[in-house]
């Protein structure tokens, strides 16, 4: 081969290698999770009073999902499905309580796969590895390089906690009294997140930024409350001693202020990425861990927090599990897109693994959303989405096509009642069709059973999986109370 021709071949080969390297460049990924934020609390999903300009701009500049579902209807199991890539019919942690995921190699979370290919991994804010646990070392043991925040979800009820965890070390906050203090936990979480991004600017990194806002106790700084006083003209409630949650004399004003403050924090993340020249190298995803709450003085109807949907937190109606979901990646995700692709938290693991080139998860219930995110290729679709929930007597639900089937009292009744809805005609789930379409109920019930595996934790078992005397004893104890 002549030298000129050899030179051409070499240049062509080098160019191909450069294209390949560019194609497989590992993106930074930031997954931001709000706590108890309703789908109707954001302007880009229809909110008219609360101002969320940064998230609205993120949706306009990226991809907005209209049929994305949380992992459960309360925080503990919802966050577990997110990190493990499995729905509540298969994960170990299927409910709230004094529970945590088991040590590796059990209950493996997807950030471990990212670490294996060179990613730095961090979880900052509210841990998704336990509900009520005071094991500050658990996040690091499970696979996060950096952790700062709450491991106990009860402690995360308060914005002036007496301590936080920093990579297994307890950070005391002596001037905080849960309801008041000089260290607002959300400020500490945000400062740590921005510092982490700064330190990892050479990448690649995965950051799970898990806000506690706007959950439970209503607490906001005066500068944010002042923005809404003139808008809401709320008459302050009389003073009162603090119950479990902080008592707020201006609950509507404070809730709106908290959501806007949270929105501003999302903007601070975007601004930091731009400052460091990382905005085009970083995928940001934003969602909420379950439907709108009705705790700590907040009422869902104050701002139509659940939008057009029925129910909220602790319900398996749409208002309890449908969540806002925004994906933003300048230069990669085409701006202004809206998708009705049916998706859920257990899709995040396979999606992140495909984007980064990490090991494929063999036991996932999820489907990668990469074709939807990038607007390229053929998007595989779920046949259905499934949930099971163990509070309020127990519930199960399945969404398949236009149908939504929900069972109630599954912990205590061997023949629990059900409700069936046609979401294509009844998005508010008002007309129960279970008596009119028994064949649909039968088909979906069988599909539910296919999705469910027997839990290794006996707390999470249905009445049909327990001895009859156990059910009887439980009912009898409840009557005595």
Same domain, 360 and 270: yes
Q: Does residue 15 lie in a domain region?
A: no
Task: Give the β-pairing of 169-172 and 403-408.
Answer: unpaired
Q: What was the pLDDT predicted at 216?
A: 87
**111 is a domain residue:** yes
103 and 204 fall within a common domain: yes
Residues 436 and 370 in one domain: no
Whether residue 424 is contained in a domain is answered as yes
- Looking at the structure, tell me whether residues 370 and 389 fall in a common domain: no
Residues paired with residue 44 on neighbouring β-strands, in sequence order: none
Rg (CA), the chain: 23
Question: Any residues with CB less than 8 A from the CB of 427 and at least 6 apart, and which?
Answer: 308, 309, 318
* Calpha distance 338→220 (Å, rounded): 32
Is the domain of 437 the same as that of 347? no
Pair 393, 368 in one domain: no
Is the same domain home to 307 and 406? no
Q: Hey, is 448 helix, strand or coil?
A: helix
Let me know whether 135 and 234 are in one domain.
Answer: yes
Q: How far is CA 454 from the centre of its chain?
A: 24
Domain total for the chain? Answer: 2
How far, in Å, CA of 184 to CA of 177, rounded?
11
Q: What is the CATH number of the domain that holds 327?
A: 3.40.720.10
Give the pLDDT confidence score for residue 296 in this predicted structure.
87
Q: What is the pLDDT of residue 320?
A: 98
The residue range of the domain holding 118 is 25-374
Cβ contacts of 87 within 8 Å, gap of 6 or more: 71, 81, 344, 346, 365, 385, 386, 387, 451
Examine the fold and report which residue of 341, 374, 407 is the final residue of a domain before the chain moves on.
374
What angle is formed at CA 76 by the lines to CA 81 and CA 91, rounded to 5 degrees? 35
pLDDT of res. 472 = 54
- Determine, yes or no, domain membership for 253: yes
348 vs 368: CA distance, rounded Å:
7
Q: Single out the residue in 353, 374, 395 at which a domain terminates.
A: 374
Classify residue 14: in a domain, yes or no. Answer: no
- Cα 80 to Cα 131: distance, rounded to the nearest angstrom: 10
- The pLDDT score that the predictor gives to residue 25 is 84
Q: What is residue 241's predicted lDDT score, i.e. its pLDDT?
A: 83
Q: Are residues 342 and 391 in the same domain?
A: no
Nearest Cα residue to 276 out of 191, 200, 356 = 200
Task: Give me the residues paired with residue 178 across strands.
Answer: 160
Identify whether 9 is part of a domain: no
328's enclosing H/E stretch is strand 322-328
- Are 172 and 311 found together in one domain? yes
Does residue 380 form part of some domain?
Answer: no
Same domain for 144 and 225, yes or no, is yes
For residue 105, give both structure tokens: 């190699």
Whether 225 and 111 map to the same domain: the answer is: yes
Q: What distance in Å separates the CA atoms of residue 65 and residue 404, rounded to the nearest whole number?
A: 19
Q: Nearest-5° angle of CA 268, CA 67, CA 408?
A: 115
Q: Which residue has the tokens 């009520």?
A: 132
Q: Which residues contact 458 (CB under 8 A, 6 or more apart)?
A: none
Question: Which portions of the chain are predicted below pLDDT 70?
Answer: 1-24, 469-481
Specify if 10 maps to a domain. Answer: no
Residue ending a domain, among 340, 374, 408, is 374
Summarised one tens digit per residue, pLDDT across range 370-428 is 999 999 999 999 999 999 999 999 999 999 999 999 999 999 999 999 999 999 999 99
- CATH code where residue 395 lies: 3.30.1120.10
Sign of the dihedral defined by the CA atoms of residues 196, 65, 289, 183, in that order: positive
Could you tell me the end-to-end alpha-carbon distance of the chain, in angstroms, rounded to an integer?
92
Instruction: List, in sequence order, every residue forming a beta bridge with 130; answer none if it has no partner.
Output: 100
Q: Residue 428: what pLDDT?
A: 98
């Amino acid at each position: 081969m002549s030298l000129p021709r050899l030179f051409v071949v070499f240049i062509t080969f080098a160019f191909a290698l450069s294209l390949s390297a560019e194609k497989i460049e590992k993106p930074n990924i930031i997954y931001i999770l709000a706590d108890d934020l309703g789908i109707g609390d954001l302007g880009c999903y229809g909110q008219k009073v609360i101002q969320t300009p940064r998230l609205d701009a993120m949706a306009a500049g990226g991809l907005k999902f209209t049929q994305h579902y949380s992992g459960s209807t309360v925080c503990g199991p919802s966050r577990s499905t997110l990190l493990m890539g499995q729905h509540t019919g298969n994960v170990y942690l299927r409910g709230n309580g004094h529970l945590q995921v088991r040590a590796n190699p059990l209950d493996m979370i997807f950030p471990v796969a990212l670490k294996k290919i060179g990613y730095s991994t961090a979880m900052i804010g509210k841990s998704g590895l336990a509900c009520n646990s005071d094991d500050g070392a658990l996040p690091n043991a499970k696979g996060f390089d950096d952790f700062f925040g709450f491991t106990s979800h009860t402690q995360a009820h308060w914005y002036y906690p007496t301590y936080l965890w920093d990579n297994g070390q307890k950070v005391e906050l002596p001037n905080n009294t849960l309801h008041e203090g000089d260290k607002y936990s959300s400020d500490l979480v945000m400062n740590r997140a921005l510092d982490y991004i700064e330190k990892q600017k050479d990448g690649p990194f995965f950051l799970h930024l898990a806000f506690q806002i706007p959950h439970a106790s209503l607490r906001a700084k005066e500068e944010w409350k002042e923005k809404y006083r003139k808008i809401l003209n709320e008459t302050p409630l009389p003073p009162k001693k603090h119950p479990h949650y902080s008592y707020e004399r201006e609950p509507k004003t404070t809730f709106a202020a908290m959501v806007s403050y949270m929105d501003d924090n999302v903007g601070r993340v975007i601004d930091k990425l731009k400052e460091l020249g990382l905005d085009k190298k970083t995928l940001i995803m934003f969602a909420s861990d379950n439907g709108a709450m009705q705790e700590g003085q907040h009422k869902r109807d104050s701002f139509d927090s659940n939008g057009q949907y029925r129910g909220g937190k602790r319900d398996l109606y749409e208002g309890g599990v449908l969540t806002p979901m925004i994906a933003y990646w300048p230069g990669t995700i085409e701006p202004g897109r809206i998708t009705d692709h049916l998706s859920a938290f257990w899709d995040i693991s396979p999606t992140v693994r495909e984007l980064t080139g990490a090991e494929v998860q063999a036991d996932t219930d999820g489907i990668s959303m990469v074709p939807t995110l990038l607007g390229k290729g053929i998007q595989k679709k779920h046949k259905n989405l499934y949930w099971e929930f163990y509070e309020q007597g127990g519930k199960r639900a399945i969404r398949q096509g236009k149908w939504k089937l929900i069972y109630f009292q599954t912990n205590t009744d061997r023949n629990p009642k059900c409700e069936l809805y046609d979401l294509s005609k009844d998005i508010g789930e008002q007309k129960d069709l279970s008596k009119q379409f028994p064949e649909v109920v039968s088909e979906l019930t069988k599909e539910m059973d296919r999705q469910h595996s027997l839990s290794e934790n006996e707390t999470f078992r249905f009445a049909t999986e327990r001895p009859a005397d156990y059910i009887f004893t439980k009912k009898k104890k409840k009557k005595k109370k």
